[in-house]
Amino acid sequence: MQNMSVGPRIREHREKAGLTQAQLAEAVFATRQTVGNWERGVTLPDIHSLRLLADVFGTTADGLLGGDAAELARAAADDRRSLLRSFVIDVACVAVLIALALVRVGLRDRAGTEASYQGCNLVLLVIQFVTMAYTWKATFSRDRVLRARNLMAATDVVAFLEGRASPDELPRDWFYRWVLAKWDWWRYGVTAALAIAAVVLVASATIASA
């Protein structure tokens, strides 16, 4: 997405302030690459970043935006939709992969002949490949938005999806304390549980067919 006004304004204010891209990035809790993308018009800063930029430059967010508030809102809406779509695709793909694993466990006993088994297994492999391709595509799309928006933690992502200026505005309820703040623990825990379940199913099927 190209933008020919916000980026030059940010660059002009930065140069007047005598700051490098790295120094400005540190001041607004972003990366130098993110600041570079803003200035080139590759991406637009979100509302929270705009407020930080305005504080650094001694101006207002409206002054940095000019007439581009509608463009900023549209870009944020597009990125939110892209994130949500990637999450939905991820969940659907994981469900399909689990289903394929369960089907493969009992396939040999139910396929009949060896030719039937190989044919069914080939179909499952094709479905698995297509599913993983969709997963990679969703991951690439999500990572692009996360990098552009500088969303480092689960709390950052949820705040952005809800249209909040920062994670500090999120309600501090049980979901925040036990899910969002510990998201990596949940992700690794669920992955480990699925891996263990798959091993148990394969071992059970092997024992049963022995």
In a domain? residue 142: yes
Mean pLDDT value of segment 43-64: 83
Examine the domain organization and report whether 45 and 109 are in the same domain.
Answer: no
Residue 202: pLDDT above 70?
A: no
Specify whether the CB–CB gap between 101 and 198 falls below 8 A: yes
In a domain? residue 74: no
CATH number of the domain to which 50 belongs: 1.10.260.40
CA distances from 189 to 36, 65, 145, 192, 199 (A): 37, 43, 25, 5, 15
**What separation, in Å, do the N-terminal and C-terminal C-alpha atoms of the chain show?**
59
Band of pLDDT at residue 205, cut at 50, 70 and 90? low
Examine the domain organization and report whether 98 and 159 are in the same domain.
Answer: yes
Residue 23's domain comprises: 6-67
Band of pLDDT at residue 21, cut at 50, 70 and 90? very high
How do residues 80-137 score in pLDDT, each as one tens digit? Answer: 899 999 989 988 988 888 888 878 777 766 766 777 778 888 888 899 899 999 889 8
Examine the domain organization and report whether 54 and 139 are in the same domain.
Answer: no
Examine the domain organization and report whether 47 and 120 are in the same domain.
Answer: no
CA distances from 114 to 108, 127, 162 (A): 8, 20, 53
Examine the domain organization and report whether 97 and 201 are in the same domain.
Answer: yes
103 burial type by CB count under 10 A (0-12 exposed, 13-18 middle, 19+ buried)? middle
Domain count, the chain: 2
